């Protein structure tokens, strides 16, 4: 056995070649069989030693309605990629011992995995109930509190960044603390017209660091102490004024409020349903095939 004069070990290079084989399995099989099946009815457009790429194998490479120039570019890129992969594969076969039977088994496993994955996706799309109600979300939240520990400080509140030359800046604080619908609407209109960035108070939570980015608030050394000390804060830099009103906050390493993780929990529940449907599909296929006696397992 020859050795490889590079940083790759034999096993890692083998794994790399297997990966290339996955992407180019038809070429590997053709290399094994040789070119005995080559005939004049197929037009070869590239060759690497005894491996050929045929025109009919380019079907589907170029989408419909692609321009002539784009089509040529796509085909040239594919042919170049094919040549480079063939050269690397053939060099590997000359350099190290490859168990081609094992490679083909892996290629088949990969092919079956792709087909199975597509079938599972189709089955899930047909059967998935994607409606997740509040009770499901709340029950999951209560049952798994340790899964929802905050990794950052979060707040509910109002944040406004305006240029120093913006009009009526002295009115901003009054509007931020107002509970009158007319003045709440006025603040929103003001932000849309004059602010460089804003987040208005509602039921949603937001990471404090995300809110404070590109502002002097980001430079506060002890943000936990800051949140505990201030429910309202004003600051500025050479170009802007910053206004922050904190209605509520949660410190990192505590359990997240439900509203902050509601969408995450919904995604978790939906993923669990998908896993269950995939398992159900496997069981159904197996049980139905067993009833029809579509398969046998012979004793060794």
Lookup result for tokens 């005995």: 36
C-alpha neighbours within 13 Å on the C-beta side of residue 158: 20
Residues 6+ apart with CB under 8 A from 208: 152, 153, 154, 155, 223, 227, 249
Residue range 168-194: mean pLDDT, rounded: 95
Neighbours of 296 (CB within 10 A): 5
- What are the φ/ψ torsions at residue 18 (nearest 5 degrees)? -60, -40
pLDDT in tens, 72-89: 899 999 999 999 999 998
* 172 CB-contact burial (10 Å; exposed 0-12 / middle 13-18 / buried 19+): buried
Residue range 7-26: mean pLDDT, rounded: 45
User: Which pLDDT band, with edges at 50, 70 and 90, does 46 fall under?
Assistant: very high
Q: Is it the case that residue 16 has pLDDT exceeding 80?
A: no
Q: What's the pLDDT score for residue 11? A: 43
String of b and e for 255-269 (b: at least 16 CB within 10 Å)? ebbeebbbeebbebb
Residue 57 per-residue DSSP state: G
- Answer yes or no: pTM beyond 0.75: no
Residue 7 per-residue DSSP state: S
Using an 8 Å Cβ cutoff, are 239 and 163 in contact?
A: yes
Q: What's the pLDDT score for residue 13? A: 44
C-alpha neighbours within 13 Å on the C-beta side of residue 56: 6
Residues 6+ apart with CB under 8 A from 31: 50, 51, 89, 90, 93
Number of helices (H), then strands (E), belonging to the chain: the values are: 10, 7
Q: What's the pLDDT score for residue 40? A: 60
Structure tokens, 285:
């296929």
Using an 8 Å Cβ cutoff, are 189 and 220 in contact?
A: no
User: Which pLDDT band, with edges at 50, 70 and 90, does 120 fall under?
Assistant: very high
């Amino acid at each position: 056995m020859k050795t490889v004069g590079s940083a790759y070990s034999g096993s890692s290079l083998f794994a790399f070649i297997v990966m290339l084989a996955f992407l180019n399995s038809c070429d590997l099989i053709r290399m094994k069989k040789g070119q005995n099946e080559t005939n004049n009815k197929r037009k070869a457009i590239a060759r690497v030693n005894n491996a050929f790429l045929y025109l009919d194998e380019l079907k589907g490479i170029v989408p419909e309605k692609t321009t002539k120039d784009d089509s040529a570019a796509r085909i040239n890129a594919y042919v170049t990629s094919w040549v480079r992969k063939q050269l690397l594969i053939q060099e590997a076969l000359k350099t190290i011992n490859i168990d081609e039977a094992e490679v083909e088994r892996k290629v088949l496993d990969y092919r079956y995995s792709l087909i199975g994955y597509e079938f599972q996706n189709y089955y899930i799309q047909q059967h998935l109930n994607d409606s997740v109600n509040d009770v499901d979300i709340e029950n999951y939240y209560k049952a798994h509190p340790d899964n929802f520990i905050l990794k950052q400080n979060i707040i509910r509140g109002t944040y406004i960044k305006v240029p120093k030359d913006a009009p009526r800046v002295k009115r901003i604080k009054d509007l931020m603390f107002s509970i009158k619908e007319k003045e709440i609407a006025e603040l929103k209109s003001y932000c849309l017209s004059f602010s460089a960035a804003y987040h208005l108070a509602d039921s949603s939570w937001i990471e404090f660091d995300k809110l404070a980015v590109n502002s002097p608030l980001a430079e506060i050394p002890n943000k936990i102490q800051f949140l505990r000390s201030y429910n309202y804060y004003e600051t500025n830099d050479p170009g802007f004024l910053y206004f922050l009103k904190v209605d509520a906050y949660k410190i990192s390493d505590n359990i997240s409020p439900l509203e902050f993780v509601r969408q995450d929990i919904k995604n978790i529940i939906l993923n669990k349903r998908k896993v269950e449907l995939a398992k159900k599909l496997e069981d159904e296929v197996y049980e139905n095939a067993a009833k029809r006696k579509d398969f046998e397992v012979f004793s060794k």
